[in-house]
Structure 1
Amino acid sequence: MDWGAVFISLEAVCEENMTALSSLPNFPYGDASERLVTCMSKIQAHGHALEPVVSCFTAVYHHYDFDSDTPGNGYRTLVKVLHSCLLHIIQKGRYIASNCHGAFFRADHNASEMEAYCSALCQLRALLYLAQRLLHDNDHGQLYSLQDGELSRRFVREYTSMHKACFYGRCLGFQFSPTLRPFLQTVVISMVSFGERYGKQQSGLGTAAFSLLSSGKYVIDPELRGVEFERITQNLDMNFWKSFWNLTESELLSGLACIASNLVQVNLTLTIPPETLHLPLASDPKLFAPVSPPVAHWGPGPVHLRLISYELREGQDSEKLLEFTRTDTPPISVSLLSFGAKKRPPSPWLLVHFHGGGFVAQTSKSHENYLKSWSRDLNVPILSVDYSLAPEAPFPRALEECFYAYCWALKNCHLLGSTAERVCLAGDSAGGNLCITVSMRAMACGVRVPDGIMAAYPATLLTTDASPSRLLTLIDPLLPLGVLSKCLNAYAGMDCQMVQPTEGTTTLSALGRDTALLISDLTMGASNWIQSFLPAEVIGSLSLSHRRSLGNETDQRSVSPCSLDFSSGPRDYPEGFEPLRSERLAVIQTTCSPIVNNPFVSPLLAPEELLRGLPPVHLVASSLDALLDDSVMFAKKLRDMGQPVTLRVVEDLPHGFLSLSGLAKETQVASDICVERIREVFQQKTTPLCTQVTTPFKDQTFGSLSK
């Protein structure tokens, strides 16, 4: 990327516009020409200040990549986003300079467009200054500031007051693939329309209908859309997000998705009763380990699953399997079975899937579209787990249910149309986290470990610690920090009553103090429960691992030609510069519960003893995802341990791109990459089971081992 040419072009466009606009008559343009001249002058000043800052990052950001063949980290992303913004400004500036004297030139419209991008450029400049602070204060090669809690707190404080509406109005989605921008606009408009009626006494259908009618004003007025979206993402409660995200599972939308998705012969919904399982030990198949059903928070309960198979295979229409079918949906494609669809022999492969949704929303139904495609492309049965969701079911309930479902699948693979010679775990976002932690749990219990993991944009650090990619939460329409923190806190079971709500916004005030205290007690007990089956030396090393900033003990600092001098104190911005501030402060509750440091919650913080022996881990991340650094640092940690790991970073896509795989060519290509990684797991040479695991940990929950 020739940054010198970019800044030369920006300077030329600014000068050309100021010269051309200064000669415009007052009529019919009014003050629009003055607004444009002022705006171009500000953009020019931002460009002069940003040029040395960009040089700072381009000189060193390669040190933070996973390897030379995988360029990707938060510092690169921030520079990439700045590049996109500047290219939009240059393109728009050239249009204005060429057409400002024309009879049909819309001066007010173009002034508003340029002012929006000028505001975005100002805020991006602030983010780059904050990233310089991270670059200066973090250890060499480290993307997270775990050693400096104050740095992360300052990042959160900056987020609460910085103006963000400019990124959700006229500039919405400028950093993403052009084919996705109309979709992002639809999502944002739908969200603000839905939020306008949220909390009022109206049926879900009535709210949706009113939202459809009121959405027009947010199309006509991008500034209003941006302001309202900023309010929603900063201050509406978790119930709003659960309601909005679960709209994808409404009968209308899910019906439309089914029409557009691939047809499969098997689509079963199952309910597995809470019964103790007995699985052979991986180290000695003559011995068996009992696996208890999920018990956290409310005792033993069933686990809900969905079986998807492109072809009907032996066992999938058996009476034994149909005993587990739930009654809320038809258990199988009756039309195909009634015509005697030919049954195929069991597949040697089995894919176990954990869906995303921030641990708080959605089910396998939301992810059916790409799962059906995967079943077709891989010709493999897929078992997707509908684990219980937070905040009603905080950690470790989801982990317990996913692990139990995995063990049940191993024991009953013949009912699923598979011999399970090769088993792969796959998941996205929160589901990627569960893929890793379920595998860690399997090692701890001594049962068979899956043959591989494919985790797409996984959340491996469930804290609000700052990293360069997490600075993107200030501009990301799909994963703002306010939403991310609510999801993390919900999974950790934090007391939502501790947050003082902003006046006039909907909150979780309906939760009583006694309920909140109960949740807090339960989650503390859950943390103690997980630690009960860790060796003492592993527990003692957890805090040390946290202090060592992801295992890197070096005190070496990255050397960079940064334009700011941080040696004198915590000054984040140069003199004379301040980012734009919002009139309404965001309410962000930092994730301070000790549970988030549990290795089964944040595997990035896990000591090597808990990660050694993991199967090959294939990570697929996006360069524009706020969680990019989670994948980069986790991949580095596994590589440095000698664990098999791959990382692929795709371009120009947001967090959650798998759910968008049918909307654009780029998202489909990314989904195909995930499929290829899963296929690698299935086709790799088989490793003897005795070499796949380490000595099982003592587990008082599962009891003693028995023959």
Structure 2
Amino acid sequence: MDHRVVFSTLDSVCVEMISAISSQVSLLSNNATSQLLSAIGRIQEHSHAVEALVAGFTAVYHHYDFNAETPGNGYRTLVKVVLSCLLHIIQKARYIASNCGGVFFRVDHNASEMEAYCTALCQLRALLYVAQRLLNDNEHGQLYSQEEGLSEKFMKEYTSMHKACFYGRCLGFQVSNIMGSRLMVSCDGVAALSVFTSGKYVVDPELRGAEFERITQNLDMQFWKTFWNITETELISSLASITSNTVQVNLMLSVPGEPLSLPLASDPSLVVNVSPPVAHWGPGPVNVRLISHALREGQDSAELMALSRGERPPRSLSVGFRNQKSPPSPWLLIHFHGGGFVAQTSRSHESYLKTWSRDLNVPILSVDYSLAPEAPFPRALEECFYAYCWALKNCHMLGSTAERVCLAGDSAGGNLCLTVSMKAMSHGVRTPDGIMAAYPATLLTTDVSPSRLLTLIDPLLPLSVLCRCINAYTGTDSEAVQPMQQLDTLSALGRDTAVLLGDITQGASNWLQSLLNSTSVSSPPATRSANGLPDAVPRSEDMSEDTTEFPEGFEPLRSGCLVDIRTPSTPIMRNPFVSPLLAPDILLKGLPPVHLVASALDALLDDSVMFAKKLRSIGQPVTLTVVEDLPHGFLSLSQISTETQEAVDTCVGRIREVFEQDPPPKTHKPANLNQKNNTVCG
């Protein structure tokens, strides 16, 4: 959309709305009317300043795209989010101008609506100033800040900036045109957005937003682990299984941790010894899930059944089905699930994996790697690499000849797809034929980028949670976490966390019919200002130094809920097997073709853009697709809307390309990783 048209339209409708309200004499003495007119005036003030900022970004943001055919980067997204906010204001202003004289027109409600979007616009204006600083200070085409001090300043700004406005009336404004309220009840926990749909929180969105901010910003890792695993509770998983595709094979296997011998990729007459995972607690089994739409030869073998974790054999082994086995597939898909390295299992992703197995006609091996912070790096990587090697050696049991092998994963799983491939290359083992990584995390540092500024408005991926996941996986978080208990009980959680999780579970199963008590969160009500919004806190003295310098006369709203973010900068965060974006060229040149599918409304968008640029710069085959108007985690939202289904279909199409493309000539040899200046430690 043309931003100039949006700003021009906003000016026109604001003038029209003021004129319409002024013509209603009966409204002029109303306090709510004064608040409404005041909000309109402040919206006009913000929009005039924002227009100049947006014009500056639109003039240059194409320089940060992957290529001309793939428009997408954090600067573009920030502009789009701002314009989405303005379009909502325009729509509301037109309604007010047309209906303010009506007998059913509620001045107080509409004043609250405009106040809420005015507050959101103010905070977005602040983000644009921060992004402008990034644009001015970074190298041309560079999305991540190379200045450590700038990232620290952003952290300080984030901890104090008011965020509740994005969790109240304005919740999901950036995606509402596509997904609407259905986003609230998605299968991967987006139902948490309806946590406060009971009692006072239904009728008071601002209070709901303030309470949501207060609770979620500083919750411990135990909460987020349990929260993201909500789709694995008996209730939610049962509902998901009803709508998912039926498969003939769905087995959990426990692969014993024993040394493996595989052919050397450069000379199959030689072998490579692969050790089992040993980090942190020594050798142990690796749990995997085998999913196959059709029963194939080998999948009913006694050898495979011996690894089954006490489950029934495939359905097709019953009488009458023994002879209905398909031949082994020439393809094999190995999957690593997302969940921030701290949560979820293959069960959380089972629904779309069943669909993939049917659509691609391929067996899928999904790895249940150990989770942080109990199992920090490199345990998950070791287990995924071991499972990959085991699958190559034992593909006959999985119903495949493994002529073509593709790795697929989302978020943390996308990171593991890349690092497992790098580890295979460094060990001299056969690398996969291709990778499909959806919205992968390629830089596990706290460096700031324009897309990471989106963590201010994202209730499911706030910066505090992103940092906790990074700290947990890299082992820099000293927070003790108890072993996970059965997900259908809340006995392991504290009172506030347990009650909140109960609200989430209830909301996920029945969004608008929550039966929980409105006092389920034991906290005092947020204080209110005269305009009915939660009080904003002025900048305190200890925040006045080393923070972003805003133009004179402007200051973003501050929150009374300060966020505790620990951001230790440790060498392990920059280990190439933790942050593949920082891997040396010699290691990245061993990767197979990489297909990245990113989301424009994702805080990790710039991870994909910069990684794609780096691979292209060294001549590695890479594609990047940026889907519009979808949040992080869209793979688990395939049944929410046609847009999410199209995005999932894009991922399937990329995997199909890996399987159907002609194999490239094997001309390269494993790199010598002990060369000077290129030593890699995994």
Pick the TM interval, shorter chain.
0.7 to 0.9
Aligned runs of 1:31-180 on 2, under 5 Å? Answer: 31-145=31-145, 147-180=146-179
Residue 273, structure 1, aligned to residue 272, structure 2: no
Residue 3 of structure 1: aligned partner: 3
Give the fraction of aligned pairs with identical amino acids, expressed as a percent: 70
Report whether the alignment pairs 1:597 with 2:598: no
Matched to 1:182, the amino acid is S
> Do 1:189 and 1:219's aligned partners in 2 also have CA atoms closer than 8 Å?
no
Separation in 2, partners of 1:122, 1:337: 67
- SS of equivalent to 1:285: strand
**Counterpart of 1:494 in 2: which secondary structure?**
coil
Determine the C-alpha separation between the residues in 1 that align with 2:582 and 2:648: 28
CA contact 2:11–2:44 (8 Å) conserved in 1: yes
Residue aligning to 1:245: 228
| CA distance, structure 1, for counterparts of residue 29 and residue 181 of structure 2 | 30
Q: Which 5+ residue runs of structure 2 have no aligned equivalent?
A: 481-493, 498-545, 676-682
1:234 to 195, 199, 217: 217
| Structure 1 residue 23: Cα displacement | 3.5
**Cα separation, 1, equivalents of 2:135 and 2:323:** 60
Question: Structure 1 CA distance, aligned partners of 2:424 and 2:289?
Answer: 22
Matches within 5 A, 1:431-470: 431-470=413-452
Seen in structure 2, the aligned counterparts of structure 1 residues 647 and 305 have a Cα distance that, compared at 3 Å, is: same
In 1: Cα distance, 2:424 partner to 2:603 partner = 29
Alignment deviations for residues 212-270 of structure 1 (CA, whole Å, 9 cap, x no partner): xx745433321122112212331111000111111110111111111100011110100
Q: Is structure 2 residue 372 aligned with structure 1 residue 390?
A: yes
SS at match of 1:101: coil
Displacement, 1:113?
1.1
User: Which structure shows the higher helix fraction?
Assistant: 1
C-alpha separation between the residues in 2 aligned to 1:598 and 1:256? Answer: 41
Q: Is the 8 A contact 2:288 2:368 kept in 1?
A: yes
Q: Verify: 1:404 aligned to 2:403, yes or no.
A: no
Q: Deviations over 1:23-56 (max 9, x none)?
A: 4345698311111100000000011111111110
In the alignment, which residue of structure 1 is the partner of 2:359?
Answer: 377
- Three-state SS of the structure 1 residue aligned to 2:11 is helix
Change (3 A) 1:319 1:589: same
TM-score normalised to structure 2 length: 0.87
Q: In structure 2, what is the Cα distance between the partners aligned to 1:591 and 1:11?
A: 46
Q: 1:694 maps to what in 2? A: 670
Are the equivalent residues in 2 in contact too, given 1:274–1:300 (CA < 8 A)? Answer: yes
Structure-2 residue corresponding to 1:520: none
Equivalent of 1:647, from 621, 624, 628? 624
1:629 aligns with 2:606: yes
Structure 1, residues 415-470: CA drift from partner, whole Å, max 9, x if none? 00000000000000000000000000000000000000000000000011100000
The 8 Å contact of residues 405 and 432 in structure 2, kept in 1 or not, is answered as yes
Say if 1:172 and 1:184, in contact at 8 Å, map to a contact too: no
- How many corresponding residue pairs? 612
Specify the SS of the correspondent of 2:120: helix
Q: Secondary structure of the equivalent of 1:691?
A: coil
Which residue of 551, 556, 559 corresponds with 1:574? 551
**What is the distance in 2 between the residues matched to 1:341 and 1:220?**
61
Preserved CA contact (<8 Å) 1:70 1:647: yes
Q: Pick closer, same or farther for the CA change 1:626–1:280 going to 2, 3 Å.
A: same
User: Quick check: 646-655 or 588-597, which moved more?
Assistant: 588-597
Matched residue, 1:292: 275
Contact 2:65–2:72 (Cα < 8 Å) also in 1: yes
Measured in 2, the distance between the counterparts of 1:423 and 1:219 equals: 50
Q: Quick one: which of 454, 458, 475 aligns to 1:476?
A: 458
- Matching residue's letter, 1:584: C
Q: Give matches, 1:605-620, under 5 Å.
A: 605-620=582-597
Deviation string 1:160-203 (CA, Å, 9 cap, x unpaired) is 00000110111111111534331343478953787xxxxxxxxx
Letter in 1 for 2:155: V
Tell me the secondary structure at the aligned position of residue 353 of structure 2.
helix
CA distance, structure 2, for counterparts of residue 337 and residue 32 of structure 1: 74
8 Å CA contact 1:353–1:426 kept in 2: the answer is yes
Q: Which of residues 321, 324, 328 is equivalent to 2:307?
A: 324
- Alpha-carbon shift at residue 81 of structure 1 (Å): 0.5
CA contact (8 A) 2:190 2:460 kept: no
Contact between 1:169 and 1:223, CA under 8 Å: does it hold in 2? yes
CA distance in structure 2 between the aligned counterparts of 1:434 and 1:58, rounded to whole angstroms: 34
Post-superposition Cα deviations, 1:318-367, rounded to whole Å, max 9, x if no partner, equal 1111111012x434336766643610100000000000000000000000
Which residue pairs with 2:402 in the alignment?
420
Q: Which stretch shifts more, 107-116 or 268-277? A: 107-116
* Greater Cα shift, 242-251 or 402-411: 242-251
Aligned residue for 2:296?
313
Q: Contact 1:267–1:307 (CA<8 Å) still a contact in 2?
A: yes
Distance 1:318 1:497, change over 3 A: closer
Q: What SS is found at the alignment partner of 1:419?
A: strand
Q: Give the alignment's TM-score, normalised by structure 1.
A: 0.84
Residue type at the aligned position of 1:409: A
Determine the C-alpha separation between the residues in 2 that align with 1:668 and 1:596. 34
Deviations 1:474-495 (CA, angstroms, capped at 9, x unpaired): 0012211111111111001113
After superposition, the C-alpha distances for 1:466-520 in whole angstroms (9 at most, x for unaligned) are 000000000012211111111111001113359xxxxx9989xxxxxxxxxxxxx
**Alpha carbons of structure 1 residues 221 and 138: separation in structure 2 relative to 1, 3 Å:** same
